[in-house]
Amino acid sequence: MAAETFLKEIGGKSVVEQIVDNITNAIINGELKPGDKIPTEIELATSMGVGRNSVREAIKILVAYGALAIKRAEGTFVRQDFDSKMLYPVLFGIILQKDSATQIVELRKIIDVGILRLAIEKLDSKSLQRVEQAMEELEQKLAAENEDVEDIFEADTAFHMVLVGITENVLLKGICVYVDQITRASRLKAIEKIINEKATERFLLMHREMLRVLKEKDRNKIDEVIENHYQYWEKVNS
């Protein structure tokens, strides 16, 4: 499609930011669709009356965000599939805000409520078996003679990722993987607190309740179970 059909006049923001906004809006509005080849640097620069260097920088930003992909000898295209890099701007924005730790806990709670609701809808015998196996592995790590914080953390993360996997939602998986990465330190502290307070059985009970809600499709208890699940993590972030 011709560049002038979707590019607006530059104004307000920096030239590079405006080019990014214009291309992003064209994708959002459906003027540029997944797999479409975007106009060339020359076409974009000419249509907006800007330099090619500004266009090049804007394209680099959108490639870094995972919105565009450059194919050598072919051109630049709108990506056709999800890339976890697409989540970075949003999540960095959360991290850099005041009280970001609290907001991240709140975000994860909301996400986990949605995960459980969706997992209940899509649960089958095979996926239930995977969750039960992940539960057994977490129990084994917590029952070890010398509890290892890292091992428990990995088993806990694996349990939650099995739940995410049941949803078959790539966006949810991408968000959860990234949130796991940026909250690793605080979650390790939460597990240390659980061990020091000899609350491992309570920790297990929280997970068993999530499993029970899933197996029994007890939708009315989802919010309560998730709220209880994060009590220790909230304490280390308060």
- Report the alpha-carbon angle 229-237-200, nearest 5: 40
Check pLDDT > 70 for residue 104. yes
Decide: helix, strand or coil at residue 68. Answer: strand
> Quick check: 48 and 7 in contact, CB under 8 A?
yes
Cα distance between residue 166 and residue 160, in whole Å? 10
Instruction: Kindly report the average pLDDT of the chain as a whole number.
Output: 87
Cα distance between residue 167 and residue 117, in whole Å? 9
Q: Which domains does the chain show, CATH number per domain?
A: 3-81 (1.10.10.10), 87-237 (1.20.120.530)
Task: Give the pLDDT score at 94.
Answer: 67
121-165 pLDDT, tens digit per residue, is 999 999 999 999 999 999 999 998 888 999 999 999 999 999 999
Check pLDDT > 70 for residue 230. yes
Distance set, CA 106 to CA 82, 97, 157, 219 (Å): 24, 14, 17, 20
pLDDT band at 238 (very low <50, low <70, confident <90, very high): low
pLDDT band at 178 (very low <50, low <70, confident <90, very high): confident
pLDDT band at 10 (very low <50, low <70, confident <90, very high): very low
Cα distance between residue 87 and residue 85, in whole Å? 5
Please list the residues that pair with 84 across neighbouring strands. Answer: none
